[in-house]
Structure formats: C-alpha cells, structure tokens
Amino acid sequence: MIKNTDIHWQAIEADPRFQALHRDKNRFLWRMMLFALIYFFCLPIAAAYFQPILTVKIWGVMNIGLLFALSQFIVAWCIAAIYAKRANAEFDARAKALIDDAHNIKGLI
C-alpha cells in the first residue's frame, strides 16, 4: 500500500484528466444543488404567497400543500440516486484511473 506522502499530489492536480473530472463533477453537483434549492424553496414561497393553491383538496385530508411537502422527500431520494448512479458510472471510474496512474508513476518520480 502506498502512503499518502508517496503520492505526487501536484502532478495529479496538474493532470488535465483530473481537472476535467473536477470541472465535470462540480458542474453536475451545482446543477443538482440549484434544482434542489429551487424546488425546496417553492414550498415556503407558495405557503406565503399562494395559500389558496396549497389548500386545494386532492383526496380526503390530502391537499396540494401536503403532497408537495411530502414530494420533497422523494426529490431528495431521487437526487441521491441520480448522483450515486452518475458517480458509479462515470466519476469513480475516472478517479480510479487517476489513482492507478499515480500508483504507477510513484516509482518514476
């Protein structure tokens, strides 16, 4: 096993593949965060300014406001699932390639 001090971190950071991975992951995460923030802040905004819409009954005691509040849990789980799928399919493979190269280069530095 290679110790952290044996890895040339500046070389990894300067690698264009690392920079592309970092850029792509940041872009993906910022988009997901922006969507989540907009979606989650819609409820308090609607509660403050659009109360009549939220009080529309759907079935029994269920109304649009309650369903929207409960949907936020589903949205959070979906965001987590989307991130996990994307990380497993793309980000982790690219990071593993960088790590493998860092282990191989260790003897050359």
Looking at residue 108, what is its pLDDT?
46
Give the side-chain half-sphere CA count within 13 A for 95: 11
Domain extents for the chain? 14-61+69-104
Whole-angstrom distance, CA of residue 37 vs CA of residue 75: 11
pLDDT of the chain, 109 residues: tens digit per residue: 455 556 677 878 888 999 999 999 999 999 999 999 999 999 999 999 999 998 999 998 899 999 999 999 999 999 999 999 999 999 998 988 888 887 776 544 4
Distance CA 59, CA 16 (A): 55
SS3 label, residue 63: strand
Taking a C-beta distance cutoff of 8 angstroms, is the pair 79, 36 a contact?
Answer: yes
- According to the model, what pLDDT value does residue 5 have? 56
What is the identity of the amino acid at 11? A
Q: Does this model's pTM top 0.85?
A: no
